[in-house]
Structure 1
């Protein structure tokens, strides 16, 4: 279920429009990316949506009412795709909000996955994200108008995660990179926010060959709408790093009191064992 929009947490359309008129959302064909697109549309922000699947993007665009929606198909798992995407996205006007959501992972031992999938993960989760961040930061240097970057990390960024070693490491990179940018731009019109969701009700788990999760993992899982609302609220308030969900907050806070080896063992117990079959290439 989506988080309730009470008076304290609600963000008015006028507030959103005053800080951003046009947003680029990567990985917008499903899950958190699609939910963020709808959240921004409800605030009156025009959208540029991107992912690999045109049909899925069209379906998401149809749910974003009352704003202009442009679609740019792109595969950010390929080299140079980020700069090509940026050129296409900015052809229709400047980007005021950048949502770096695209990413994927797999739930397997590192030595059981071929290098091509690992290379794509590195390109998508880190290299393309940095390339888009560079384009966005460079484009905003001459502007005094408010601008926002939101990078999607994970609670996996707080520790090592066996069977998701490379994915968790990539999300630790995203978190550290985002926090560094946030601090560099403190006091400027550009703010950078990192959101670190835990388990979320998306296609990620099926696409990653997810494990036989424990009751703890299942109990802490949130809807994509809950995560999207928390992410946009944090972004518009200029927050540095946010972990949505009380249980996830407690987990990320508590891990600092464990040895790194023990925290890794706990993650193994919580996430369970990988499934027998790893699905083909990522869906988003």
Structure 2
């Protein structure tokens, strides 16, 4: 047993957006490391299917829609009913690939609620729970490489992830030297259902070449969490992209993003459950 495993063995983690993609991959990775799980998402059947693959640990599932007001606090109460949480993985989120003025406000309001407001609410619950704790606790917030620049046709999504990144980095610095660590993960394109659900997919070779599996991102996230890192961009190509953006003017970076991501699909799919 290595130090990577012993650092979180026997802990209890809440993973949001755990029914598919990065959230499901993180749940399975934590299970292999001996972490008990509380998994939450909107789709009960998909959530239960993921839970069944997380063997060797205790697994609870809670169906919740964090895109709704006050859902975060109800989730926290349910998740802590059977014991405290040592790890919080704020993964739930969604986006759309479309001009801002072509999407109903109700969908934007749900995006803001899920990607930012519920994430902050859960973060506050977690920080308050560990305010006087002397045992290590870890929070991981999933942002995006889109957090490093403006992204036309994903204006609100990228802005929400910039918020997550800045918020997470500030929390990390506030709690430096304490038992509580906060890590921000900024994945690039990942092999999940996100692209089809967002209306994207007509990407350039650059975007396709930088795409990583959900398992790759999950492993990078847990490794960064255990090490107490501040911000991690998984994948060399993605690291170079985020660094390269700093060398461009903001308008040029925005135009480059438009070329890399291509055009939106003709029809915007209904929001998939997270």
Q: If the length of structure 2 is used for normalisation, what is the TM-score?
A: 0.98
Task: State the SS of the aligned residue for 1:78.
Answer: coil
CA distance, structure 2, for counterparts of residue 236 and residue 282 of structure 1: 31
User: Equivalent residues in 2 for 1:190-209 (5 A)?
Assistant: 190-209=180-199
CA distance, structure 1, for counterparts of residue 263 and residue 115 of structure 2: 24
1:14 paired to 2:6? yes
CA distance, structure 2, for counterparts of residue 15 and residue 74 of structure 1: 29
State whether residues 25 and 50 of structure 1, in contact with CA within 8 Å, keep that contact through their aligned partners in structure 2.
Answer: yes
Task: State the SS of the aligned residue for 2:7.
Answer: helix
State whether residues 4 and 226 of structure 2, in contact with CA within 8 Å, keep that contact through their aligned partners in structure 1.
Answer: no
Moved over 4 A (4+): none
State whether residues 4 and 223 of structure 2, in contact with CA within 8 Å, keep that contact through their aligned partners in structure 1.
Answer: no
1:246 paired to 2:242? no
Q: CA deviation at 1:13?
A: 2.9
User: Equivalent residues in 2 for 1:54-65 (5 A)?
Assistant: 54-65=44-55
CA distance, structure 1, for counterparts of residue 184 and residue 261 of structure 2: 23
Task: State the SS of the aligned residue for 1:77.
Answer: coil
1:180 corresponds to: 170
Task: State the SS of the aligned residue for 2:215.
Answer: helix
Task: State the SS of the aligned residue for 1:149.
Answer: strand
CA distance, structure 2, for counterparts of residue 211 and residue 64 of structure 1: 30
1:281 corresponds to: 271
Gap runs ≥5 in structure 2: none
1:162 corresponds to: 152
Picking from 235, 258, 272, the partner of 1:268 is 258
Q: CA RMSD in A?
A: 1.1
Deviation string, structure 1 residues 98-119 (Cα, Å, up to 9, x no partner)? 0000000000000000000000
CA distance, structure 1, for counterparts of residue 194 and residue 56 of structure 2: 29
CA distance, structure 1, for counterparts of residue 208 and residue 96 of structure 2: 18
User: Equivalent residues in 2 for 1:80-229 (5 A)?
Assistant: 80-229=70-219
State whether residues 41 and 273 of structure 2, in contact with CA within 8 Å, keep that contact through their aligned partners in structure 1.
Answer: no
Gap runs ≥5 in structure 1: 1-6
Q: CA deviation at 1:11?
A: 5.9
Q: CA deviation at 1:143?
A: 1.1
CA distance, structure 2, for counterparts of residue 226 and residue 11 of structure 1: 20
Task: State the SS of the aligned residue for 2:141.
Answer: strand
State whether residues 210 and 235 of structure 2, in contact with CA within 8 Å, keep that contact through their aligned partners in structure 1.
Answer: yes
CA distance, structure 2, for counterparts of residue 146 and residue 195 of structure 1: 19
- Between the two proteins, the alignment pairs up a number of residues equal to 274
Task: State the SS of the aligned residue for 1:105.
Answer: coil
CA distance, structure 2, for counterparts of residue 11 and residue 163 of structure 1: 43
1:41 paired to 2:34? no
